[in-house]
Amino acid sequence: MAFSSAIVLVGMPGGGKSTVGRHLARQLGWRFADSDAEIERRIGGTIREYFDQHGEAAFRDVEAQTITELTAVPGSLVLATGGGAVLREANRDALRHAGTVVYLRSTPEELFRRLRHDTQRPLLQVKDPLKRLRELYQERDPLYRRTAHFVIETGRPSVPTLVNMILMQLELAGVVDPSREGAPQAGGRAGAP
């Protein structure tokens, strides 16, 4: 079976996968897909509403089908996944076979700073979101590491800095062509002649 040439971003909720993925796809001239956005398009509502009405298991079924379909489309793709995409072994296998998996790693404390006012993420609508983030991190970090080819520590760099960090790893690994138009040049700006 021929899979697409993909760069897949995994990581905790709020880790920047969608934002970084859009910028990375633009830089490479590749198609971008966000599995959560695609799920919401398919179910005709929000993930939070679907979670409330049908439960997590039903949501994970829809997520698995969406990931399978997105990774099977021919062509170059940057795919941002939902935070729980790695919970199922079939998803981890599909993501690894689709292309190169990059784990955008953030600590629970960094995530809490970014997400403390978020009302859309179903798993964080609890009394103590920081405690919940720590529990999710403890459960998922080993799965993200097992799935990923590369781990990028997000810390506090800007989106362009994160994109450049990812591109450098991908260039060194031979996943993307360092001579492509718009690639950072030694001693110069990206795209400088």
Q: Max Cα separation, the chain?
A: 55
Domains with residue ranges and CATH for the chain: 6-172 (3.40.50.300)
pLDDT, residue 192, reads: 35
Higher-pLDDT residue of 126 and 152 is 152
Check whether 109 has a pLDDT greater than 90.
Answer: yes
Model confidence at 181, pLDDT cuts 50, 70, 90, reads: low
Task: Write the DSSP string, 5-58.
Answer: -EEEEE-STTSSHHHHHHHHHHHHT-EEEEHHHHHHHHHTS-HHHHHHHH-HHH
Check whether 118 has a pLDDT greater than 80.
Answer: no
- pLDDT tens digits along 35-80: 999 999 999 999 989 988 999 899 999 999 999 999 888 889 999 9
Model confidence at 121, pLDDT cuts 50, 70, 90, reads: confident
Helix (H) or strand (E) holding 182: none
- pLDDT tens digits along 130-178: 899 999 999 999 999 999 999 999 877 789 999 999 999 898 888 887 7
Structure-token pair, residue 55? 């439960």
**CB distance 86 to 142 below 8 Å:** no
Q: What rounded mean pLDDT belongs to the chain?
A: 87
Q: Phi, psi (5° rounding) for residue 137? A: -60, -45
Whole-prediction pTM: 0.86
Model confidence at 123, pLDDT cuts 50, 70, 90, reads: low
pLDDT, residue 182, reads: 61
Model confidence at 19, pLDDT cuts 50, 70, 90, reads: very high
- pLDDT tens digits along 81-101: 999 999 999 999 999 999 999
Structure-token pair, residue 111? 């995530």
pLDDT, residue 187, reads: 41
